[in-house]
Structure 1
Amino acid sequence: HTLAPRPQWLGEGWMAVDYLAGEVKTTLPETHHLAELLYHLHQQPRFGWRITLLPLLERYWQTCDPARRTPRWLIWLKRLKREREPGVIRLAPLHMDVHAGNLVHTDSGLRLIDWEYAGDGDIALELASVWTADEAERQRLIDAYARVANIENARLVRQVQRWRPWVLMLMAGWYECRWQQTGELQFIMLANETWCQLETKG
């Protein structure tokens, strides 16, 4: 109840939850508030199922528009498959879709909605996945989280950096599949932008 709306009904692939009275803003909350919320989430009991990214990356490759299966996409996929997913600093329940639109500012504090991608994973994966405005904002979030979680900052930074290519591949693949499903140009533009970010990191 301190993190999410209370579920009321589940059936036929749908879940009904309590309405959260509050405001959804267009930007992330202040860094220390977001860090505290994520740390609070990561202290909760685990869900009981692990997040594994490679099967998702392979599925996106297989189900996207064949004309969009570029050599660089395949190179990155093979590279990550060869390197394998990074180890775990701390295994915890993750939300995995933290962005401004999924945060409700209520009278009793921040709440998270849209738990479709939640599961157990490395806390650094969560930090690598938060939709920050830029890498400077992500670094501020990492700094704040390291303080509240009592983790060595440099170690956390390195682990987030290891996860970033995985997250960027995940985002690019999701955009590619949404383009295939909808034909909406915004998704192809977002995919191209994400591929550019990945190439910069590569």
Structure 2
Amino acid sequence: MDKQFKGFGLTISHVSALSGGLTNACLKVEAKEGSFVWRPISLQAKILGADRAKEHEILQALSDESFSPNVYGENEEGILVEWLEGEVIALDKAQDVAVDLLCSVHQISLDKLSEQIKNKPMSLKDRIIDYWNSITPENQTPEMEAYFEYFSQQDEQAFFSHCLCHYDIGAYNIVVKEDGYGLIDWEYASMGDPSQDLTSMIIANQFDMDDVISLYCQKRRLNIDEWKRAVIHWTPWVTFMGALWFSLGYQLLKNTCYQELAEREMCKLIKLLPSIHK
């Protein structure tokens, strides 16, 4: 414990484990200096694609944004991030707020980001390949293998100019604060095609696709038809990536809930691309 918080200069009064999330194993740290979330660097986080160094830099770049938590510092064990006071938003109240936050993220100035981050966008294809290679053979089903072979041979199409993307705007990551809304868990944040981020948000929350695309495009004065084509294109990609993520969750935690969620996503994928499933 002492090693984790080395170098932060905190007068700690209480540390408690936070529940939820596969990559996290996060802790709430209460100290004289304030309340924080400890986000460790772990093998589990790395397997699932979380990058604490990138998360730290992106949060630093967002220090002037009201919706993002401030980052307090980092060491070789992890990063320390501001605890946002408030409650997680209810899913039935999340849609408009989530779209507003997504628009805000996609329009952030990139001036404060390093060239390394700006020049290394998120690749759904690479993430799918990484997840697949981390799943042990006994957890690889024939259906998953067939779809992996399909996606690994596809070119990843670029629809729109890259911008900063969060890649996990679920209601579970939106905090209702006294003065607005906060967006937490930036561990997957990266440069990327904003239509991928929009697709991920729709799927994560099971929002109505047409409603959300229309709302997003109205707010940003974009062409709805173009964005709908992009979301339809990415939906099988994101669905399969989610299935692999849940499968890895089952492998790492042995929780059958994740296995059931992986099977649910595979059922969706088979309906989206039935010709791949033979």
Q: TM-score, normalised by structure 2?
A: 0.68
Higher helix fraction (1 or 2) = 1
Which residue is equivalent to 2:211?
140
The gaps in structure 2 that reach 5 residues or longer are 1-64, 274-278
Structure 2 Cα separation of the partners of residues 63 and 178 of structure 1: 11
CA contact (8 A) 1:60 1:173 kept: yes
CA RMSD of aligned residues (A): 1.7
Matched, 1:164 2:164: no
The gaps in structure 1 that reach 5 residues or longer are none
Which residue is equivalent to 1:14?
78
Q: In structure 2, what residue type is equivalent to 1:162?
A: H
Structure 2 Cα separation of the partners of residues 82 and 19 of structure 1: 42
Q: Deviations over 1:77-113 (max 9, x none)?
A: 2222222112132311011011111001112222110
C-alpha displacement at 1:149, in angstroms?
1.1
C-alpha displacement at 1:24, in angstroms?
0.7
C-alpha displacement at 1:126, in angstroms?
0.7
Structure 2 Cα separation of the partners of residues 39 and 28 of structure 1: 19
Aligned pairs for 1:50-199 (under 5 A) are: 50-130=121-201, 131-134=204-207, 137-199=208-270
Q: Deviations over 1:151-196 (max 9, x none)?
A: 1111111101111111111111111111111111001000000000
Which residue is equivalent to 2:91?
27
Q: Deviations over 1:104-155 (max 9, x none)?
A: 1112222110001000111110111011235xx2321111001011111111
Highest relative contact order (Cα 8 Å, sep 6+), 1 or 2? 1
Q: In structure 1, what residue type is equivalent to 2:105?
A: L
Q: In structure 2, what residue type is equivalent to 1:197?
A: K
C-alpha displacement at 1:30, in angstroms?
4.7
CA contact (8 A) 2:213 2:228 kept: yes
Q: Deviations over 1:15-45 (max 9, x none)?
A: 1122212221241645333222211110113
Q: TM-score, normalised by structure 1?
A: 0.91
Which structure would you say has the larger Rg?
2
Structure 1 Cα separation of the partners of residues 189 and 128 of structure 2: 17
- The number of residue pairs the alignment matches comes to 200
C-alpha displacement at 1:63, in angstroms?
1.9
Structure 2 Cα separation of the partners of residues 45 and 170 of structure 1: 28
Q: What SS does the corresponding residue of 1:16 show, helix, strand or coil?
A: strand
Q: In structure 2, what residue type is equivalent to 1:70?
A: T
Q: In structure 2, what residue type is equivalent to 1:142?
A: I
